[in-house]
Structure 1
Amino acid sequence: MRIYFYFLLFCLAAELKALPPFFRILDQTVDCNHMVKMDLLETNCSDVNEVPHGEAPAGPLWGSEQIKAQMDNHWLVPVLTVVWEIQADGSHKELKGSKLVIVDENSNQSLCVQLSYSLNSSLNPKHRQWSFSLDAVVEPWHTYSVTVFNLPQPQTDTLKMKRIEKQITVPGCGDTRMQWVQLCLENGSRWDPRISAVFADRKSSVLVTFHTDQYSERYHVLIQNDGLNCSKTVSKQNATSLNVTFENGLCQLSECDVLVMIRPFFRLCNNNLSMFGHQGHKNISKHSNVCLTINAFNNLLGPLLTSPAADEKQTEVFQVQGRKRVLIIYSLDHPLYKNVVLKFSSFLSAKCGTEVVLDLLDSTGLGVLGGIQWLDWHKKQIENSSDKILILCSRGVQAKWRAMCGDKQVYLREDVSSPIGDMLTPSLSLLVPHFIHSQSFEKYIVAYFDGISSEEDIPSPFNIMVRYKLMKQFEEVFFRILNTEKHEPGRVKLINGLSEDGYHQCPSGWALQDAIEAFSAYQRDHPRWFDDELLENSDVEEDETYCIDPKTFKNHLIYFALDSTHVVGHVEAK
């Protein structure tokens, strides 16, 4: 019998510790030989003296932007540095200064800064263009719009021609630049719980052990077992580690799945913080009939809970009854990967008798409903049934997820050439908010094709799930689709022809194996294959019907997916 423990560590609000206010101009001296004066305006920047277009100076030029952690009053804070330049066209004679407006798109707060200049020459003493910079304290995961224009300001109808605008997203606490800022530290960005959980006293209890964090005084430890909840709230009391014992009398641990959650009460919880860290995996021993699988960020190790009765289990062939449905979510990374997805769908249908919902196989439905409506309709069908959503992770899935979180936009050659366009981005936008709620975990299966993809291709929201290697662990995936357990007390179920060594012995399985091997060989011969599939924005012709702008979904995703800070640790075997 296999028992799964999912450790989900959330951030709960406790008493707040005073931090310097966010979204403000960092204390600094802006002075170039007393030629520059800076004023922070309390108004909304609407109080301006406009002049005709011909009397206004030329607009500024964008220099650069940088996001970094910087010391401020004994704290490390996230800082956005904006640099702009003055055009060397002689209009410096009319130039009186510049105005910079920064708007936090998450909170709709704004800052307005006016700088007054007195420039005697169009070039600085080093014979270069005048360059100015400003530092603003910002928040992780927030998106900011920056607008700069020179003064005096031209009349409204020509203002747009003489201003520069930029949208900048601050990375979350998972970014190495952000992990040490105080806000992230107080949300557990550097906490390593080093969790372990073992049976104790001849299986009469479960002992959960974890390391504490300096920013959390209390911890809520909860076990869910077959609909029953057992929980304890413990205090740190200056201890560096805590032991929490749950008696087995509350639920039969050997006969049901167990969900363990640890919720630290951090001093400061910010709902817009990123999930962070990386994950690893340790394989389960084949001699263990009871195993503990930990899914977390940072270091992930699976300790083993063994039983002397492991070799006494009986194996039986499981007869599949009924037809299940599965919605497949994937990224069009490459024509050869597209072929892998199609062959895998064919194998699921022909060999396993599964009804496969795949956009590539339903052009009629997509044409009638449109991409987003098609996805939403099938999502609702899955929610109201026992069917599953299978997410096939790959390089493109990870890259598109990061783009949704503020990284560079991703345009894949196959997406552009496909009549349905990129379906992965809207899929993640619709599914992730529903997925992160624990009661919906059972609806989702996360997998990747070993040899052509890896665990590094799995987006961070799915790290709390069991990740399956295909086709090595396909039998376990299929049992998930069937809503049944492979391991039960005293017996192990098997399905003929689904093992790693046997799936290719049927025509559809052979075709799938051939497709996987072909793409694997192509990757070996072309190490930069994924970079070769990326297109620049200028090479992409937008298709209004199917082209999805991730910014449309970004705020929606952050609001739902990041309402908890997921903290992680590794688990030691006992």
Structure 2
Amino acid sequence: MQSYSCVRCDYTETFQSQTRPSGGKWTFSYEGFAVEPSTLYFIGAHNIPNANMNEDSPSLSVNFTSPGCLDHVMKYKKQCIEAGSLWDPNITACKKNETMVEVNFTTSSLGNTYNVLILHDMSMPLGFSQVLENKLTRTSVAILVEGSESEGAVVQLTPYFHTCAPDCIRRQGTVVPCSETSPPANKRSMLGDWLPLISVLLVATWVLAVGIYLTWRQERSSKTSFPTTNMLLPLIKVLVVYPSEICFPHTVCRFTDFLQNHCRSEVILERWQTKKIAEMGPVQWLATQKQAADKVVFLLSSDAHSLCDSACRQNKDGARENSQDLFPLAFNLFCSDFSTQAHLRKYLVVYLDGADIQGDYKALSACPQYRLMKDATAFHTELLRAARNMSMKKRSRACHGGCSLL
């Protein structure tokens, strides 16, 4: 299916020269086109009127393929999660005999149908089976195969989830020989000769393990560990605000992964809501997210452009330059809360790579401050405390609502 979108951009000021003051070519950008994952787009730009007749071309065009659901940012989007981007089937397959292959994998609650196909050289089908399961569990299926070439063949698992069937993300595994359940007779006699030595080694290993454990107990206070997260706690909404000079892929995305994977957090980032910001305006968007968020994190880092410029040079004209820096605006909107202790608990300052508060943002020193990874445990505990408070408030509201009906 083909679709078309067109935007006209008018220049509000007269160009004083054909090049930028720095000497480079003028560059222009536009944000707002909605795209589908893993889709090829033809993008064309046309200058009206022609710049120089019979000299410069008035149009440019490129082909662009949008990132798929396995991209490190896209995989956390709702559409991709429902398509199985976070599903790990952990496929194992082994050849039991010349005509039988056993395939094991973990199902998902997103769907109830799975097609298992065994392929030789990714082209010739050797066997097929369909599995029906509507809950999260470990399942096993024995598949009859044709020929003796199943060892090393590819197992292709196709899920049929509710939102993406039949085009959901396919997963693959490899057929290996099944492990033997009992050793051959000649190996048993060799094993008997080695039993005394094995016993001595086991005792020595046990003594060594006890020594290591006792040493670890004495030093565990210096180790960074995360308390076990209660999976029954609700997700807490965290608004992350950061200066524009921080490298988004290496710093912001990794910090976001830390919040989502270890702190049961639903992260709010302006980079992920550019369309809403364009519709609402940055001030209204920040005010709305402040009300919705349980915590607001000011993220500071000293990496500046060093890491980003060396590793992301190919994207220097990309999203980082085009995104709007909301850090100063957020600071000015929220700083009035810093003088009230009740409101101050909502805000946290997180330092990375030895950063510190500088310049016009000294008021942030009133907020609770954490340095990662040195204060990772304390930061993790603070977020979980917010989640527990949220859960207690919900229970309290439910109780008052139930009592009022009596």
Q: TM-score per shorter chain, which class? A: 0.3 to 0.5
Greater RCO, 1 or 2 (C-alpha within 8 Å, sep 6+): 1
Of Structure 1 and Structure 2, the greater helix share is in 2
TM score, norm. by length of structure 1: 0.24
Output the TM-score relative to the length of structure 2: 0.33
